[in-house]
A and B are shown apart, each in its own frame.
Chain A
Amino acid sequence: MTDTSAQIETFYDVMRRQGITRRSFMKYCSLTAAALGLSPSFVPKIAHAMETKPRTPVIWVHGLECTCCSESFIRSAHPLAKDVVLSMISLDYDDTLMAAAGHQAEAALQDTIEKYKGNYILAVEGNPPLNEDGMYCIVGGKPFVDQLKHAAEHAKAVISWGACASYGCVQAAKPNPTRATPVHKVITDKPIIKVPGCPPIAEVMTGVITYMLTFDRLPELDRQGRPAMFYSQRIHDKCYRRPHFDAGQFVEAWDDENARKGYCLYKMGCKGPTTYNACSTVRWNEGVSFPIQSGHGCIGCSEDGFWDQGSFYDRVTDLTQFGVEANADKIGMAAAGVVGAGVAAHAAVSALKTAQRKVQDNKKKEEA
């Protein structure tokens, strides 16, 4: 199946083995630089890193989830991103895509942990349900929470893919029947990168993982532990329908003329003004579109608790004003999120004039 030699190859070796040409490799490096917002001068750096560094092994596990994150990931756009990243991480252990089954698969997980102790990244899709000793999600006869803790013990860092792993998502909605619990509540002694969204955008996923594999360090995170490069702006800030919002032109009903004209969906319950994500810039399915462009408001799926904020179609009413200066850092700061060890705190903070619901909620929580 996979190589068993103790020496880990470089990314470039792996790619060559996958039949990826030099030309494609260089193209990939420039795409990566662009996706990460780095200047072209970084391209040779990325290339050099990939040619010389041993690849970082990745273990990808699935808890209580719907597999939408994997689905999104493998549909990643940039022609090569998916291919390259897939071969780079070689999915040392991933139970949706791998070949082995049953005990063989369990053994593969154990082997990978042993072989790369302290060096691998643990990518978690879904979350562990804690009710009834974790019996609502059993992997290989054992509760998923055990597998998660076991795999995390020797991981270098943990990536929480999607809203499930980051925050709980709809399965944690009231009454949270299984007590679905986000990863950072279970794993408390490792740096955790949250990549929320239901699912996250494929390019965001590949961007995050490429950054970590290439530079061998965590991307800059905001106070909630999300990579700042993708989660520092609100959907609303870069929404192509923003001019209609500013002009007071709104869709009032699904079937009205304003809907056809592409007016702002705020009155239809769009959560763009309170949601930090890259949908309005990176877009979906290879950059084709995003929910607002399809005429439906944003539901705020990359925000904590989006599933329990009243109806998805309720207007965001407790927002008194929308200051463009508010950024995710500031919001996160008030949210008093835990920052994982080794995470560079984002220093730049702009003035916050607005009272966001999140802030209020969290204050309430703190006071309680």
Chain B
Amino acid sequence: MTDATTLLVGPFNRVEGDLEIRLEVREGRVSAAYANSPLFRGFESILQGKSPIDALTITPRICGICSISQSMAAAQALADLAGKTPSPEGAKVAQLLHMIENASDHLMHFNMFFMPDFARAVYADRPWWDQVLTRFTAAKGSALKRAVEARAGLMHVTGLLGGKWPHTLAIQPGGVTRAPSVRDKVRISADLAAFRAYLEEVVFGGPLEQFAELATIVQLSGWTGGDVALFLAISDDLALDSSGCGEKRYLSFGAYPGPNGPLFKRGTLVDGTSSQLVPEQIVEEITHSWMLGQDAHPSRGMTRPDEDMREDAYSWCKAPRLAGETFETGALARQAIDDHPLAVALAAEGSVRARVIGRLLELARTQIEMERLLASIDPRAAFMRHVRIPDDGEGVGMVEAARGALGHWVRVEGGVITSYQIIAPTTWNFSPRDGRGVPGPVEAALVGAEVRDGEETPVSVQHIVRSFDPCMVCTVH
């Protein structure tokens, strides 16, 4: 292949929502990539004219897999609008719910979305293929079954505290509607213990604390337990440490706020240098999006789809930029910005391996933190504080979903929502080009990916795209 050819990859399966990527291929390598989010529902216009508290019910329905993150962002935006904070114990319960969802998303991604690609026939000659085939064949592998079971068990906690999952209603600006009793605490602690046992036996093949303490890539390479070790072997064999490398600009809104700031820090990390995040520098650009209006900060943004689907645009997704630059967001970014030494080393690599390990590292740390958080909950305290939503004002909710930074910007006038703008993690990661023609993080990471002769859905592209754990329903909403 000497001339440039074009490949259209999609629909992608095993991602939440629809995704299509156009690839230009030159000499067996991707030379340019264009990510298209072909699903648009118009949540931001639906929210206009509604009562602000209805955002608590409507926004979670943007996404069935990260609905608690949407609840958290909406509740935070409304509390901000009212100038209040939730009751401390209520905030803890909400946070526990959020951690459970994030942990289960990481687990789901590894087992159901990412690993099954290594069971493809194209790898039949690799030494690890047989093992992957039994454990990770899509919808059938033994690892998948265990993961789904373990996750359903963990979700008992969301059932107990949130009434139902997906689309839990319990999270409110003032706290949560359900005050856990002492007995609930015992049940939850049993559920968490069961989840830990599963993680240690199957996923990590060793104590979580030990994995969370790995500080260097050399130490990581020495890990021999569980499915993590299987992934590391595959990664070494396929050089996933040098595949899908990003621009090494990371951002995190900070996860799980507490009295002393977020548990996982807020900030940015650019080429190894960390800085403060300045949310005012966020701009959503629309040059290559089928959107009308102007580039704007989300507090001033609008969502008006271009029904003509103009020629120079190619996605419903807007292009969020921070100080004019693209940023990658997700577990790797979060852990690196939180100064975890292994994550910092991996962030410098910025590869497929880095993103996958970043997620697993966070899974281990989150489990430990959930146990700590549960122990600190005092069932006798108040779990809800009265919050009156004012008729006029603005509010911002910035949280971390499993896939990265999620922001809600709301404006209320005369008791109804007049503007509601959402930037989801995958909006950052899968953004189209901006006004300067700079490709979004995934588009950039795909450049250089190998396309083997005759491959129509290049397997390397699958790995790279999935390493970002796209959630397309959130992206455009």
Q: Specify whether A and B are partners.
A: yes
A97-B139, A99-B137, A198-B61 given; A137·B38 CB < 8 A = yes
B316-360, CB < 8 A from A: 316
Kindly state the separation between the CA atoms of A77 and B384 in the bound complex, as whole angstroms.
31
Contact status B64-A199, CB under 8 Å: yes
0/1 interface trace, chain A 83-110, chain B, CB 8 Å (1 if under): 1001000010011111111111110000
Contact of B148 (CB < 8 Å), options: A82, A132, A288: A82
Which residue of the partner chain B has the closest CB to A91?
B139
Kindly state the separation between the CA atoms of A83 and B149 in the bound complex, as whole angstroms.
10
Q: Is A254 an interface residue (CB 8 A)?
A: yes
Which residue of the partner chain A has the closest CB to B466?
A101
CB neighbours (8 Å) of B13 from chain A are: 95-101, 105
- Using a CB–CB cutoff of 8 Å, the interface residues on chain A facing chain B are 18, 62, 64-72, 74-77, 82-83, 86, 91, 94-106, 129, 131-132, 135-141, 169-171, 173-178, 180, 198-199, 253-255, 259-260, 279, 283-286, 288-297, 299, 301, 307, 311-313
Interface residues of B, dominant DSSP: loop
Q: Which of B45, B49, B137, B382: most chain A CB closer than 10 A?
A: B45
CB neighbours (8 Å) of B15 from chain A are: 96
Which residue of the partner chain A has the closest CB to B67?
A68
CB neighbours (8 Å) of A105 from chain B are: 11, 13
Q: How many A-B residue pairs have CB under 8 A?
A: 244
Kindly state the separation between the CA atoms of A295 and B140 in the bound complex, as whole angstroms.
38
Kindly state the separation between the CA atoms of A307 and B151 in the bound complex, as whole angstroms.
30
Which residue of the partner chain B has the closest CB to A311?
B51
Contact status A136-B57, CB under 8 Å: no
Q: Is B158 an interface residue (CB 8 A)?
A: yes
Q: Pick the interface stretch among B161-169, B293-301, B400-408.
A: B161-169
Q: In the complex, what's the smallest C-beta–C-beta distance from B148 to chain A, in angstroms?
A: 6
Q: In the complex, what's the smallest C-beta–C-beta distance from B338 to chain A, in angstroms?
A: 28
Contact status A255-B174, CB under 8 Å: yes
A68-B61, A294-B178 given; A285·B156 CB < 8 A = yes
Contact status A70-B64, CB under 8 Å: yes
- Using a CB–CB cutoff of 8 Å, the interface residues on chain B facing chain A are 8-18, 20, 38-43, 45-46, 49-51, 53-54, 56-58, 61-65, 67, 87, 112, 116, 119-120, 137-140, 145, 148, 151-152, 155-156, 158-170, 172, 174-179, 305, 307, 309, 316, 382, 384-386, 456-457, 462, 473
CB neighbours (8 Å) of B18 from chain A are: 62, 137-139
Contact status A284-B174, CB under 8 Å: no
Contact status A75-B14, CB under 8 Å: no
Contact of B42 (CB < 8 Å), options: A99, A104, A178, A254: A178
Contact status B11-A139, CB under 8 Å: yes
Kindly state the separation between the CA atoms of A97 and B155 in the bound complex, as whole angstroms.
20
CB neighbours (8 Å) of A137 from chain B are: 18, 38-40
Kindly state the separation between the CA atoms of A40 and B179 in the bound complex, as whole angstroms.
39
Contact status B41-A83, CB under 8 Å: no
Contact status B41-A177, CB under 8 Å: yes
Contact status A174-B46, CB under 8 Å: yes
Contact of A180 (CB < 8 Å), options: B41, B63, B119: B41
Kindly state the separation between the CA atoms of A159 and B164 in the bound complex, as whole angstroms.
23
Contact status A291-B163, CB under 8 Å: yes
Kindly state the separation between the CA atoms of A96 and B457 in the bound complex, as whole angstroms.
17
